[in-house]
């Protein structure tokens, strides 16, 4: 069996004949463009990040910062990441040995999993999970084990009993994503502590995906698991600039942690992309140092857009879980499902039916899993779109007829 087929299958991208399909995000964006639907499917901002940050990159291109940057990343960016982790979270890092710049968080996650897990190892993630996490585990030939997040009045919360069963001496890595895509959950301190305890008991490593670290609402704050007592020595913390500064196409990410683990990840990373993004690196270095007001402004505006979409979806008749962070809100589409349909069928039909694009939550689950069945009628909407697009989407969704599973016109 060729490895790419395993990867396609693990990330839900395999067609019945085993051939690869585009990701669900790309599929829904194409559908939205074809139908003129308001695209609340793929999570990318429809306005670019701060002009002053883009200006630094433009100047770098003009000034000749256009050849390979150092394999571990520009020294000023590594210093800025270390300073950011210290200032925000009290995590101390040596920028020379404990920080590696990557092509977005996606490369960091793939390189970390490839470096540290292989056939016979288990890698534990939450479920639902971001598609590239499952793909990275499959590329490494490791076994993917999941712990459900369960929807309730307090949001999607960790199934703590399932955590106890999932983590064992076979566990090599616990891959933790918080704030969480797609549910918008920000794991609480006690939940993180349970994961930390499980990791220590099993002598497992923790790899994190914290790309939405700054996009939290209602005074909820993000805690990196590496900041918990005794966890820095077994944790690789991964984040990126894309979400924080609305520059998702720049693909500047980083991984930070103990020198010997960073050494291992570097060994893999240098043969994936070697290095990249030379003119963007100095711009992100400055953004991490001087960009706090921009981050605060984005958080406030995103929080207001979340409120707008949450109110609109409720008004249209969706049950939902209010997200404490990220770009996303998950909603139960049960009242709108035609006989025999699930969230995936609903999502594929919605651009035509109502002029709105969404993504089914089952795309973030293992095929046939209990979580996939429990969340089969759920869909994810993004609110990282301008207010007008959100208003248009909400007006269109209000026209959905709950009883008939069809639009009344
Ligand atoms: N992170 C974005 C989302 O979750 C999508 C990125 C992608 O298209 N791969 O919607």
Q: Which of 43, 106, 243, 358, when mutated, tests ligand 1's pocket best, judged by the most ligand atoms within 8 Å of its CB? A: 43
> Distance between CA atoms of 366 and 11, rounded to whole angstroms?
8
Render pLDDT for 54-90 as a digit per residue (tens, 0 to 9): 999 999 999 999 999 999 999 999 999 999 999 999 9
Render pLDDT for 27-58 as a digit per residue (tens, 0 to 9): 899 999 999 999 999 999 999 999 999 999 99
Q: Which stretches does DSSP call E strand in 10-134? A: 38-39, 99-103, 122-127
Backbone angles phi, psi at 185, to 5 degrees: -70, 135
Edge-to-edge strands, sheet with 252-256? 99-103, 252-256, 235-240, 205-209, 171-177, 122-127, 143-152, 155-158
This prediction's pTM: 0.96
Q: How far is the CA of 58 from the centre of ligand 1 (A)?
A: 25
Share of the chain above pLDDT 90, in %: 90
Residue identifier of the C-alpha nearest atom 10 of ligand 1: 43
Ligand 1 atom closest to the Cα of residue 44 is 2
Residue identifier of the C-alpha nearest atom 3 of ligand 1: 43
Question: Residue 291 pLDDT > 70, yes or no?
Answer: yes
Render pLDDT for 93-136 as a digit per residue (tens, 0 to 9): 999 999 999 999 999 999 999 999 999 999 999 999 999 999 99
Measured from the CB, is residue 30 less than 6 Å from ligand 1? no
Nearest 5°: CA angle at 85, between 83 and 88? 100
Q: How far is the CA of 248 from the centre of ligand 1 (A)?
A: 9
Measured from the CB, is residue 371 less than 6 Å from ligand 1? no
């Amino acid at each position: 069996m060729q490895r790419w087929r395993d990867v396609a299958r693990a990330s839900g991208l395999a067609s019945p004949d085993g051939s690869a399909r585009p990701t669900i995000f790309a599929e829904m964006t194409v559908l939205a463009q074809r139908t003129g639907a308001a695209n609340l499917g793929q999570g990318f901002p429809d306005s670019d990040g701060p002009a002053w940050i883009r200006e630094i990159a433009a100047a770098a291109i003009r000034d000749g910062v256009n050849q390979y940057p150092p394999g571990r990343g520009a020294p000023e960016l590594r210093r800025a990441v270390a300073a950011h982790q210290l200032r925000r979270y009290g995590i101390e890092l040596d920028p020379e040995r404990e920080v590696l710049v990557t092509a977005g968080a996606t490369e960091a996650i793939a390189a970390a999993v490839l470096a540290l897990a292989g056939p016979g190892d288990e890698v534990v993630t939450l479920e639902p999970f971001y598609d590239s996490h499952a793909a990275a585990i499959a590329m490494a030939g490791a076994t993917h084990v999941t712990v459900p997040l369960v929807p309730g009045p307090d949001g999607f919360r960790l199934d703590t009993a399932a955590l106890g069963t999932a983590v064992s001496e076979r566990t090599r890595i616990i891959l933790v994503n918080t704030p969480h895509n797609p549910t918008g959950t920000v794991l609480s301190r006690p939940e993180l502590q349970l994961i930390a305890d499980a990791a220590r008991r099993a002598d497992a490593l923790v790899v994190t995906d914290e790309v939405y670290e700054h996009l939290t609402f209602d005074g909820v704050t993000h805690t990196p698991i590496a900041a918990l007592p005794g966890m820095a020595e077994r944790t690789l913390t991964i984040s990126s600039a894309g979400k924080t500064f609305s520059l998702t196409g720049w693909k500047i990410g980083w991984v930070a942690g103990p020198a010997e683990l960073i050494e291992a990840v570097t060994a893999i990373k240098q043969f994936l992309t070697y290095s990249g993004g030379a003119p963007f690196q100095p711009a992100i270095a400055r953004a991490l140092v001087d960009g706090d007001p921009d981050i605060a402004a984005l958080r406030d505006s995103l929080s207001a857009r979340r409120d707008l979409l949450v109110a609109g979806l409720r008004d249209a008749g969706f049950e939902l879980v209010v997200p404490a962070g990220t770009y996303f809100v998950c909603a139960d589409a049960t009242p709108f499902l035609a006989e025999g349909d699930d969230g995936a069928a609903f999502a594929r039909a919605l651009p035509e039916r109502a002029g709105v694009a969404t993504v089914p939550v089952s795309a973030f689950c293992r095929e046939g899993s209990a979580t996939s069945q429990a969340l089969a009628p759920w869909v994810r909407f993004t609110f990282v779109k301008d207010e007008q697009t959100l208003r248009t989407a909400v007006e269109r969704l209000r026209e959905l007829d709950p009883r008939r599973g069809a639009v009344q016109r």
